Structures are given as structure tokens and as C-alpha cells.
């Protein structure tokens, strides 16, 4: 039974000659492709560098201003280990989110040979992106920064200098979660340290002078509060997006759902991997997203 596709604001073509395949340069061979995904965007690179510098600054203040001068050895070891573990996981998640291909569609694959290989039947529709000359899978959108069509693109995040898409959404969610956790942890430690310094002599509660200590702690407090709010909101919206199986772009454009509805648990496993395990929390574990064909070109 033939299903009539709903209207979408993308190029809709039914025959190979209408797609103008002669104007598309065939995609490069696999051997000529780079092995690492990296977006050369000045703003994104600057934001990524700032992100790492802010984490290192927080670690500097936590260790050298609050924990090392503390006379409570157990308190310092426990909090130092916990904070640095969370910070390491946050930076590792950021690294994976930045350098993982988010789900880019092969560029320039709208060639006559490829279109004919799809063996289109009467009434079937394929979508061509005029910007990167690609045949777009369903739910793919073009990113003007990455200059590629990205499968299940949620948004382009300058803080990770990459799109958040089908293949790296797990790492972005972990990044926001771990940043929120270290921000909360830092705020709690700053609060305890201020109380300790008020009760004791300020010259004994830090290796730095009292004015320098106060300035460093206030800056860390402001940074932690700001990023706690920001990353908590991002984490919540990402989890909601995963559970509803609707990307940020699809919500913004209010696109009509054309894909099969699944349970929230199935949607979570599709992003974080099958089955549920501690690997969900690890940025080093690549999720097994099943054997579904990611290139669903024909509607």
C-alpha cells in the first residue's frame, strides 16, 4: 500500500533527472577520507578551549586553594579524588563529543548512479540537499557550520565544536551531566571553605593571601553556579528529547512525526546502547545502536 508523504520544506524530487545529479561531484573514496572528525570553526575551537580552561581553573582552585591547605587529610583525599574523577569524565566526554562523527551523510552522493541504485518505484520520494549535494535520509538536517547533512541532528553546539546528532548524543549528554556534577560539588566545597575560613584565621585556611583567596573563591562560585544552571537545563532537555524521540530541530520546526513511536526505555537504549549497564556512564564505551539501516533515503 502506498503512503502519500506529507509536505516538508525540503527539495522533493521523484526522478533522477530532476535531482540534477550531473552537478554533483561524487564523494571521495574511503581511502582518501580522514580518520578523525574535526570541525575547523574558529568560534567553536575557541569555545572548546575555553571549556577546558574553565575546568582546569576549577581544579586549580579546588586543589591548591581549598584542599591542599586543609588539615583534614581524609576530607581532602575524598573530595579531591571525587572532583578530579568527575572532571576527567567530563573532559573525556567533551573530547568524544567533539571528535565523533555525529552522523554525517556522505557528501555529494546525489549522483545518477547512486539514485538509480535506489531503484525508486512510482510514488516514492527522495530528498536532496542543494547545499552539500547529498541524498538526505529521513530526519536529517543540514548544518551550516559543519557544512554537512547530519542524521537526527539536534543542534550545533559551539562548546563542543560539533553537531549533536545520532552518533555522539550520548557523549554530549554525559558531558552536560558531569559538568553539572562538578559544578555542584565545587559550590558545596566553596560554601564549606568560607565557613571554615570565617571560623579560623584567614591566613591559615589557604596558601594564598586572604584577598587573593576571596577573589579566587568568588570567581569559582560564579563559574560553578552559571554552568550548573546551564548544563542542568541542557541535560534535562536532552533527556526529554531522547525519551520523546524528537530532536531539538524537530521540536522547533514542529515537524509532524513520521517515524514509529517507541517506549522511553527503547529510546534511551537506542542512544546509550544495548543493554543497560555501567557503560551508559562511560565516555569510552561506544553504544551499540543495533543494525538498523541509518540511510533510510526512500519514503
Give me the helices (H) in the chain, please: 42-60, 73-99, 112-117, 169-199, 210-244, 248-253, 264-272
Q: Which of 132, 133, 149, 157 is catalytic?
A: 157
Task: Report pLDDT for 299.
Answer: 54
Furthest-apart CA atoms within the chain: distance in Å:
83
Task: Report pLDDT for 2.
Answer: 37
Q: What does the alpha-carbon distance between residue 88 and residue 95 come to, in Å, rounded to a whole number? A: 10
Domain extent listing, the chain: 37-100+160-281
Task: Report pLDDT for 4.
Answer: 37
User: Which residues, other chains included, contact 205 with Cβ-Cβ below 8 Å and sequence gap of 6+?
Assistant: 69, 193, 196, 197, 213
Q: Dihedral sign for Cα 125, 126, 128, 133, please.
A: negative
Work out the number of other CB atoms within 10 angstroms of the CB of residue 298.
15
Q: Could you say which residues of the chain have pLDDT below 50?
A: 1-18, 30-33, 290-295
Task: Report pLDDT for 155.
Answer: 95
Q: What does the alpha-carbon distance between residue 21 and residue 121 come to, in Å, rounded to a whole number? A: 18
Q: Which three cell numbers stand for residue 176?
A: 552536560
Buried b (16+ CB within 10 A) or exposed e, 32-43: eeeeebebebee
Any bridge partners for residue 150, and if so which? 104, 141
157 is catalytic: yes
| Angle, helix 73-99 to helix 169-199, in steps of 10 degrees | 150
From 20, 250, 11, 13, select the one nearest 129 (Cα to Cα): 11
User: Which residues, other chains included, contact 45 with Cβ-Cβ below 8 Å and sequence gap of 6+?
Assistant: 161
Amino acid at each position: 500500500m502506498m503512503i502519500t508523504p506529507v509536505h516538508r520544506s525540503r527539495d522533493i524530487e521523484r526522478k533522477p533527472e530532476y535531482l540534477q545529479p550531473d552537478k554533483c561531484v561524487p564523494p571521495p573514496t574511503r581511502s582518501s577520507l580522514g580518520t578523525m572528525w574535526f570541525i575547523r570553526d574558529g568560534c567553536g575551537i575557541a569555545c572548546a578551549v575555553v571549556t577546558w580552561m574553565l575546568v582546569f581553573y576549577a581544579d586549580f582552585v579546588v586543589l591548591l586553594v581549598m584542599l591542599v591547605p586543609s588539615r583534614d587529610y581524609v576530607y581532602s583525599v575524598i573530595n579531591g579524588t571525587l572532583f578530579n574523577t568527575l572532571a576527567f569524565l567530563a573532559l573525556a566526554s567533551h573530547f568524544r563529543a567533539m571528535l565523533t562523527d555525529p552522523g554525517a551523510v556522505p557528501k555529494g552522493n546525489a549522483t545518477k548512479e547512486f539514485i538509480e541504485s535506489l531503484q525508486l518505484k512510482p510514488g516514492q520520494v527522495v530528498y536532496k540537499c542543494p547545499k552539500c549535494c547529498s541524498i538526505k535520509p529521513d530526519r536529517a538536517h543540514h548544518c551550516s557550520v559543519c557544512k554537512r547533512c547530519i542524521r537526527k541532528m539536534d543542534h550545533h553546539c559551539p562548546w563542543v565544536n560539533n553537531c549533536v546528532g545520532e552518533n555522539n548524543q550520548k557523549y554530549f549528554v554525559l558531558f552536560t551531566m558531569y559538568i553539572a556534577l562538578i559544578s555542584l560539588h565545587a559550590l558545596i566545597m566553596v560554601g564549606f571553605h568560607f565557613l571554615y575560613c570565617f571560623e579560623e584565621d584567614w591566613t591559615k585556611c589557604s596558601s594564598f593571601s586572604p584577598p587573593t583567596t576571596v577573589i579566587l573563591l568568588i570567581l569559582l562560585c560564579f563559574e560553578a553556579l552559571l554552568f550548573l544552571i546551564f548544563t542542568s537545563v541542557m541535560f534535562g532537555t536532552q533527556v526529554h528529547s531522547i525519551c520523546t524521540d524528537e530532536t531539538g530541530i524537530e521540536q522547533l520546526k514542529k515537524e509532524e512525526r513520521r517515524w514509529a513511536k517507541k517506549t522511553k526505555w527503547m529510546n534511551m537504549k537506542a542512544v546509550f546502547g544495548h543493554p543497560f549497564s555501567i557503560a551508559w556512564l562511560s565516555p569510552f564505551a561506544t553504544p551499540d545502536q543495533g543494525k538498523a539501516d541509518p540511510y533510510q533515503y526512500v519514503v
